[in-house]
Amino acid sequence: MDDTILIRQMLTDDVPYVARFHHAAWMDAYRDLLPKEEVEKITLRHFQNSWKQILDDDERTNLIAIEKAMPVGYASYRPRKKQGRWELIGVYVDPSSMNKGCGSALFGAVVAAIKEKEANKLIVWVMKKNQRAINFYEKQGMHPSGKIRKSKQEGMTFEEVQYELLLD
């Protein structure tokens, strides 16, 4: 059995698969962290529509992880206004493929890509209560920067902490 994970640029044809596992992963991650009635309002159709718009964003790079010929994870990132700084928008993995190295492979591909562009810092904003994501980013070598912000998404307000990875 081949457990190789292939990382490549996301294509338009990937959107139905990505929307499906992104929805499942998002529900799994936030079900116990946000109000249940608000989380349940976020439908698969919402993710399908969002991904069509995301792929049109020229500043954003979207990588996808393929395992056994199926998309099972993605990572999105973009440059920040300050030279050499990049933002990881997110890493999501299908719940059935978690803890198999997919997220780490995606994270590593992001770091390798931005290093080629002379990056010196990668940041990510993480919901303060999302311990699973915090553990993942710390495992990748990221550390809290000390910055905290209030965010609002889909009508829900929550606190996020910034994690950073210094690359030089």
Mean pLDDT in residue range 33-55: 85
pLDDT at 64: 97
pLDDT at 3: 65
Query: What is the edge-to-edge ordering of all strands in the sheet holding 5-9?
Result: 5-9, 61-67, 70-79, 85-93, 121-127, 156-166, 143-153
Tens digits of per-residue pLDDT, 124-155? 999 999 999 999 999 999 999 999 999 887 77
Tens digits of per-residue pLDDT, 67-80? 988 999 999 999 99
Least confident of 73-77, 109-113, 155-159: 155-159
Of the candidates 90, 159, 156, the one whose C-alpha atom is nearest the C-alpha of residue 122 is 90
